[in-house]
Amino acid sequence: MVVLKVLTLNCWGIEVPIVCKYRHQRMQAIGDLLSNGEYDILFLQEVWSNSDYKLLCDKLGRSLPYSHYFHSGAIGSGLCIFSKFSIVETLFHRFQINGFPHKIQHGDWFGGKGVGLCKIQIEDFDINLYISHLHAEYSRRNDVYLSHRISQSFELSQFIKHTSQNCHVTIFGGDLNLQTDDLGYKIITSTALLADAWITKKSTKTEKGFTCDRKENYFTSATDYPDGQRIDYLLYRYNNGYNVSVEECNVLYHQVPGQCYPISDHEPVVANFTIDKSPNSKGFDESITQVGRNQHLQDALEKLDTGMKEIRNDRMFFSILCVIMIVLVFIIPSCEYYSILTMLLSLTEVVLVLGAGFSVIYGLVIKLSEENSLYSTKCDILNLLGKPIKH
């Protein structure tokens, strides 16, 4: 039997001081807090800076000597795992769709988000550790990234499902940017056969488990969730001949010592997993969740179709806009105008050329790539459901 104390935390380590407050102080505090030897496994997200990762390695090296950072995208995935036990294999799958490069204010695209895997061995137990951070929501009322997160949720569930068949136990930790009633969460748990540690825990605390946008968090501002939301998870499954029970699962709150602000804009989630051999265990029965899974996937197909329809409308709009701007570029030089307007009209021509160029790149490259990614996910879902693909 093995008992593991596991923690997941979104560290909010964005390298933009105005956006991300007190990053250096908070990273120091996170390293000090987690270095006391209390934890066996750490799943950390939004560790975007190499210097922050090195700082954490230095502080955690004595109690958690094994770690892996999943490099991806322009600024790294932000994902890393720390372990008391030797990491024997690693693998990373990058999501095929993850926001837009021109939405710099959001920045998800630059992170190259995906799902990471670290394999560890503890005595006779082969354990797969997974970590991920899905695209942020930004607006509940006008969620332009809904289809992206649904696609990511399906990719995540398939990756875990197909890489965890030969291990004994699977543990996932990360920020899904999904609540339990969201379609993406249902796809992940039903397709990958994952249980939620907060729901299955033996302890009977009545907290709602909110991990983000909590009122007492110094960094929380007015959001669509005034009471907070639960979007950070510890999920798990076990295969034939093994059993996992969750003795406790809690949401913690830690302030930076001597300061009035917490260690992050998210709260850490901690769970105690008891892993044991059980000859009579059949693992997680896929037939139990198959009906619900199929309905969730059917709902996903509708969302993906809606997303692709919006993409086609956007492509048509930018194609028309591009034609109009090109026509104006050729019309302006042929018009007679006073010399005082020469500079203004020349500047207008430059703006029109740049606008036409952006329309071509956005409509024919970015949006077409987005449509192809959603269509790829749709085809994968249809194959899983045993339905024909109509071309």
Catalytic residue among 93, 133, 168, 266: 266
* Type of residue at 381: I
Q: Which helix (H) or strand (E) holds 8?
A: strand 2-13
Q: Give the list of residues 6+ apart from residue 367 with CB closer than 8 angstroms, or none.
A: 311, 314, 315, 318
Euclidean distance between CA atoms 184 and 200, whole angstroms: 20
CA end-to-end distance (rounded Å), the chain: 52
Q: Which helix (H) or strand (E) holds 296?
A: helix 286-331
Euclidean distance between CA atoms 121 and 115, whole angstroms: 20
**Tokens 């029965």 correspond to what residue?**
285
Euclidean distance between CA atoms 326 and 5, whole angstroms: 62
Euclidean distance between CA atoms 92 and 132, whole angstroms: 10
133 assigned to active site? no
By the 8 A CB rule, do 175 and 243 touch? no
Euclidean distance between CA atoms 117 and 129, whole angstroms: 6
Residue 264: name the closest of 17, 21, 7 by CA. Answer: 21
Active site residues: 266
